[in-house]
Structure 1
């Protein structure tokens, strides 16, 4: 049964209202068929820049463009009716200045119809969050392990493990909350830190490799479906093995073609059958 009480799309204010009342369930989607299947179950769908790695087999998230991500986001919006859809701001599309960020975000919203954008960065990006929010663009902030900072962080490593690092991330989250972000993604940080940040903020935290205490959770859909290969991230759980289902279906199809049991005349057009 759908978690939605009415057949209308979840809004950003609704997501904010879930703080302290119930957990927010979120997943990623990049194409219409997957988004359509997720829609009735989740509160939020993120069209993440992880599209670069999951959809295009690139080594990181840095090379995907605004135009490419907007096209994926538009497909997800068209395929859904219930979930709140948020899109990532690609690397290089917002860091130069708040004005650049607004131009990029406005283009993405106009092209896709999403409800808001997500951007990565600590206190230095809080001014940009405020600039966007003041101009009508909802912002989901992202602190902790930030994939767009993979080169400065030296890889995909857990963050906030020292007192100093934890305090910096805590201040990053507070800065974005004060700047008007509607929520904050906490990725790859120590569990006690995520729990502490969640308790100290009035806006929802969305965890990924953070803490059960976060106000919501998000994962890459391909990770929970067994479509990401043999390696499962520490913070994820494989809820199904769709990969094996697809392999079995492809094997059966190929065998049927080679054995000439598919297609049959039942699958053809203009076939005249004798009485």
Structure 2
């Protein structure tokens, strides 16, 4: 049987993802924020599309993920869902829309699901947001957790360096992973933590664990699509493998178009009515 068994599935669900972990099939996950890109990523056969709050960085040019609003996330998610026929679509609940208030967390999650048609939401944090996670789950909304480097907490950390290198933080992360599983999360993202710790988490919990900068021994991997395709080139962390250099190709195409317009080569007779 092909290692790409999931490529034959018409629609990925939380059940599909659990089955993939069970049989040792790695889960592929990429971000998308608009209709055109989501259509390409879905057609390529990715298992999960994350409508990430990283849209704040790559789509809007903000320094952090903090400024993006719930309305903006719903706009991006709606655009993505329209393009997708197979992948499981997860949407980040943005900063300030779930922390510290489980009622607001539930309202935010319900708005995302009702208005965008997405399949699940993602939240950052462990024990401190467990009440919000359980409140969202009580409404039947699937929740993906996110531990390790949590970009919404960047001002608390003060740096984007690797998390959980010290024993105390590593123990808390492992405990948080167990708590999120007990709350009912269907999967976890681990960002920028030591590979050994990520392996331990993946072996300890029964839910799928998706890594970004968390080594090879987790259940799947996620990258920001603009980074992976080389559209954004100023961000080159150690964990990023760049699969294309689209920025250079796009730049070349734009320059050729400008040259053809200036030299009156475009449009030619065949391109005119």
TM-score by length of 1: 0.94
Moved over 3 A (4+): none
Alignment of 1:5 with 2:8, yes or no, is yes
Contact 1:20 1:215 in 2 (8 A): no
Residue in structure 2 matched with residue 29 of structure 1 by the alignment: 32
Contact 1:74 1:113 in 2 (8 A): yes
1:259 Cα deviation after fit:
0.6
User: What pairs up with 1:11-50 in 2 under 5 angstroms?
Assistant: 11-21=13-23, 22-40=25-43, 41-50=45-54
Alignment partner of 1:20: what SS? helix
- Per-residue Cα deviation, 1:58-113 (whole angstroms, up to 9, x for no partner): 00000100000111101001011111111000000001311110101101111110
**Aligned counterpart for 1:55 among listed residues 56, 59, 64:** 59
Residues 30 and 2 of structure 1: CA distance in aligned 2, closer, same or farther (over 3 Å)? farther
- Per-residue Cα deviation, 1:116-145 (whole angstroms, up to 9, x for no partner): 000001211122212211210000000110
Residue in structure 2 matched with residue 273 of structure 1 by the alignment: none
Alignment partner of 1:206: what SS? strand
RMSD between superposed Cα atoms in Å: 1.4
Residue in structure 2 matched with residue 260 of structure 1 by the alignment: 264
CA distance in 2, matches of 1:209, 1:178: 25
**Aligned counterpart for 1:104 among listed residues 104, 108, 117:** 108
1:228 Cα deviation after fit:
1.3
Alignment of 1:197 with 2:231, yes or no, is no
Structure whose CA Rg is larger = 1
Contact 1:144 1:189 in 2 (8 A): yes
| Structure 2 unmatched runs, 5+ | none
Contact 2:100 2:129 in 1 (8 A): no
CA distance in 1, matches of 2:100, 2:267: 56
1:2 Cα deviation after fit:
9.5
User: What pairs up with 1:149-164 in 2 under 5 angstroms?
Assistant: 149-164=153-168
Contact 1:3 1:42 in 2 (8 A): no
CA distance in 2, matches of 1:146, 1:15: 23
Aligned pair count reads 268
CA distance in 1, matches of 2:26, 2:138: 27
CA distance in 2, matches of 1:231, 1:177: 32
TM-score by length of 2: 0.95
Alignment partner of 1:157: what SS? coil
Greater CA deviation, 93-102 or 172-181?
A: 93-102
Contact 1:10 1:82 in 2 (8 A): yes
1:3 Cα deviation after fit:
5.1
CA distance in 1, matches of 2:258, 2:93: 40
Alignment partner of 1:245: what SS? helix
Contact 2:78 2:116 in 1 (8 A): yes
Residues 2 and 90 of structure 1: CA distance in aligned 2, closer, same or farther (over 3 Å)? same
